[in-house]
Amino acid sequence: MTANTQLSTTLTRPGRRLQRRCFALCLLSVLGMQGCATKTYGRQPLVTTYERENMSCREIDLDIAKTQGFIDKVNQESKFSIRDVYAFFGDLTIGNHMEEHQALESANQRIQDFRQLSEAKHCPAAPPNQGAGKQNLDSAGLTRP
């Protein structure tokens, strides 16, 4: 009877090893998908000293509009998609929310800095929500009515 027990134990060990390897491979695959499922939006850079000193009022307004376009893009891309399902299994979508928050925070900070710069240079007030998609620009980048 001991010989039979030893024989059955010897036969089941390779099966357990295979199960463990399969489980480890599946776990690594899920973790790998999680990294790909987290959305990335990028960041808006801080306003540089060069920009503060050399930008005209028109250039400031254009940069505010570009940054508003970035915000619109982040808001559009942050809507629910299949990548959110994959991210849910990886990190409960925490990574997506953190990425969205940091992208919007960088853009809002840039807009705030440019608005303060615009006030300091006594520029005429621009419309509050100049989105990049809302402007009509010709090929030279000039605003058309």
Q: Could you report the per-residue pLDDT of 91-131, keeping only the tens digit for each?
A: 556 777 788 899 999 999 999 999 999 999 999 876 565 44
- Round the average pLDDT of the chain to a whole number and report it: 74
Q: pTM higher than 0.85, yes or no?
A: no
Given a cut of 60, whether residue 140 has pLDDT beyond it is no
- What's the per-residue H, E or C state across the chain? CHHHHHHHHHHHHHHHHHHHHHHHHHHHHHHHHHHHHCCCCCCCCCCCHHHHHHCCHHHHHHHHHHHHHHHHHHHHHCCCCHHHHHHHHHHCCHHHHHHHHHHHHHHHHHHHHHHHHHHHCCCCCCCCCCCHHHCCECCCCCECC
**Could you state, in order of their start, the residue ranges of all structural domains in the chain?**
38-134
Q: Could you report the per-residue pLDDT of 31-77, keeping only the tens digit for each?
A: 555 455 567 788 999 999 999 999 999 999 999 999 999 999 999 88
